[in-house]
Amino acid sequence: MPWDSRGYYYRKKRIGARVVSEYIGRGMSGTFAAADDLEAQEQRAQERASTQAKRREADALDQSIAAADELISAAMNQALEAAGYHRHARGQWRKRRETKSD
């Protein structure tokens, strides 16, 4: 907790790799600073929760798009193979040559 045993309020700050304690005060000034810090902390927690929810929605959408892509690709491959095409060197689709019969 930012309150020490004597009733003083400290705010921690990171400066580079070090964490520095900043003395805020005691009494009303410490109480107001603590309330402001608590409000900011709760707001950051809400923003984090919102971001995580949006990320979960996006992941679910990505999974459904990937599943649809697999189905469409499989249907396209079957249709092209049925029409007489093949994949040249696992790349381009090409029409199979038809042999001339005399």
CA-to-CA distance for 102 and 9, rounded, in angstroms? 99
Q: Which pTM does this prediction carry? A: 0.60
Mean pLDDT (whole number) for 46-53: 97
State what percent of residues in the chain have pLDDT above 70: 98
> What's the mean pLDDT when you consider all of the chain?
91
pLDDT band at 56 (very low <50, low <70, confident <90, very high): very high
Place of tokens 């009494």: 27
pLDDT, tens digit, 9 for 90 and up, residues 4-29: 888 899 998 999 999 999 999 888 98
Is pLDDT of 98 > 80?
no
Report which of 13, 44, 7 is spatially closest to residue 29, judged by C-alpha positions: 7
